[in-house]
Amino acid sequence: MLGALSADSMQGRRIGSPGSAMARALLVPRLAAAGLVPLAPGYEQLFEVKGGRDTTVHAGVNLVAMVRGADTSRVIVVSAHYDHLGVRGDQVYNGTDDNASGTAAVLAMAEYFARHKPAHSMVFAFFDGEESGLRGARAFVASPPIPLARIAADVNLDMVARLDKNELYAAGATPYPFFAPLLQATAAVSPIKLILGHDTNAGGAHENWINQSDQGAFHAAGVPFVYFGVEDHPDYHKPTDDIEKVDAGRYLAAVRTIADFVRRLDQSLDSAVPARPGK
């Protein structure tokens, strides 16, 4: 799926483009075949695009699907944005790491948890328009397909394939310290180096990733998050962000590491993650 999503034929998956529709045409049949419950007609949550720096696009499309767990009172959202920068001039910005990698990983986890039922319900969300201002995530939070009060946490993936230094970061344990023990337990068994950080202004605001991807929309709404990603690399937002730069073994190890955390979070959600005030 990683190669298919980041192929030249996907035209960089820019919001509102034919490539974006082609990416959804790859994802939707897989969700349906796995038996996930659609949370919008055909899994597609449409949203209007108003203002901002991209004035040529008027609508976006999130994909939202659910695996029902034994406990449906609190829900874990696992998310990634599937859009990228599209075609500029005669160059296709394939966005293999950013963020075909997170999209393919979320799909793999959706299929896994569909076969191995979780303790709590999980929503798998594929957001559109992240590159133009977290538009899809903000639309999801503004009009959630399930009550926002039921969302216990968001686990967001953005750029999880380029483990050039065999390192993956997890942000979120500073504002939400109850995640730290679960992340440390995952780190202890991970074949890659999982590092907690990039969630404070230490080293400058540019080192704080809280609002740099879709988890920012959840954080602004008071929903706790953990964000998995790698640091910027030379191919970030370049037409050279191609699959040839990905070490398949390290990418698979990163996906398994994130899935291990999601499993731990699911199994200990009620004891580890406090209910939000008034919820």
CATH of residue 117's domain is: 3.40.630.10
Asked whether residue 277 is domain-assigned, the answer is no
DSSP letters of 235-274? Answer: TTTSTT--GGG--HHHHHHHHHHHHHHHHHHHHHHHHHSP
Per DSSP bridges, beta strands 59-67 and 44-48 are antiparallel
C-alpha to C-alpha distance for 221 and 150, rounded to whole angstroms: 13
Asked whether residue 161 is domain-assigned, the answer is yes
- How is residue 7 annotated by DSSP? S
Owning domain of residue 99: 2-272
Asked whether residue 38 is domain-assigned, the answer is yes
Asked whether residue 211 is domain-assigned, the answer is yes
Total domain count, the chain = 1
C-alpha to C-alpha distance for 42 and 165, rounded to whole angstroms: 39
Asked whether residue 92 is domain-assigned, the answer is yes
Asked whether residue 121 is domain-assigned, the answer is yes
Asked whether residue 279 is domain-assigned, the answer is no
**Residues 27/103, Cβ–Cβ less than 8 Å:** yes
Residue 97 has pLDDT above 70, yes or no: yes
C-alpha to C-alpha distance for 120 and 103, rounded to whole angstroms: 22
C-alpha to C-alpha distance for 265 and 272, rounded to whole angstroms: 8
Asked whether residue 153 is domain-assigned, the answer is yes
pLDDT band at 56 (very low <50, low <70, confident <90, very high): low
pLDDT in tens, 221-276: 999 999 999 999 999 999 999 999 999 999 999 999 999 999 999 999 999 899 87
pLDDT in tens, 262-277: 999 999 999 989 987 6
